Amino acid sequence: MASQALPASSASGFSRDFAASIVVFLVAMPLCMGIAVASGLPPEKGLITGIIGGIVVGAIAGSPLQVSGPAAGLAVIVFELIRTQGIEALGPILLIAGAVQLIAGMMKLGGWFRAISPAVVHGMLGGIGVLIVIGQFHVLFDAKPLASGLENIAAMPGRLLGLDPASPGGAELALLIAGITIGVMLAWEKWRPESLRLVPGALLGVVAGTLIALFVDMNVARVDVPDSILTAITPPTSFASWLTPEIIAAAIAVAFIASAETLLSAAAVDKMHDGPRSDFNKELRAQGVGNMLCGGAGALPMTGVIVRSSANVQAGAVSRRSTILHGIWILAFVALLPSVMRAIPMATLGAVLVVTGWRLVKLDHARELLKHHGLLPVAIWATTLVLVVAVDLLTGVIVGILFSLVELIPHVRRLRLKVDQSDNEEGTRVRLSGAATFVQLPKLEDTLGAIPRDKPVTIDCGQLSGLDHSCAELLRDWVERRKAHGSPTVLLGDDKKLRRLAAA
Q: How confident is the model at residue 495 (pLDDT cuts 50, 70, 90)?
A: low
- Asked if 419 and 450 count as a contact pair (C-beta separation under 8 A), the reply is no
Least confident residue range of 101-105, 297-301, 499-503: 499-503
417-503 adopts what CATH topology?
Transcription Regulator spoIIAA (3.30.750)
Give which of 35, 57, 42, 33 is closest to 294, Cα–Cα.
57
Domain boundaries, the chain: 11-347, 359-410, 417-503
Tens of pLDDT, residue by residue over 30-87, are 889 889 988 889 999 999 999 999 999 999 999 989 999 998 778 888 988 898 888 8
Helices then strands, counting H and E runs in the chain, come out as 21, 6
pLDDT, tens only, 398-453: 899 899 888 777 766 667 888 888 887 778 888 988 888 888 888 888 888 788 77
The model carries a pTM of 0.81
- Over range 329-349, report the average pLDDT: 91
- Mean per-residue pLDDT for 104-121? 83
The CA distances from residue 351 to 163, 181, 265, 339, 383, in Å, are 18, 6, 24, 21, 27
Residue type present at position 221: A
Give the three-state DSSP class for 422: strand
**Hey, what amino acid is at 285?**
R
Q: Read off the pLDDT of each residue in 155-161 and give the average, rounded to a whole number.
A: 90
Residue 295: pLDDT over 90:
yes
- Burial (CB < 10 A; 0-12, 13-18, 19+), residue 383, is buried
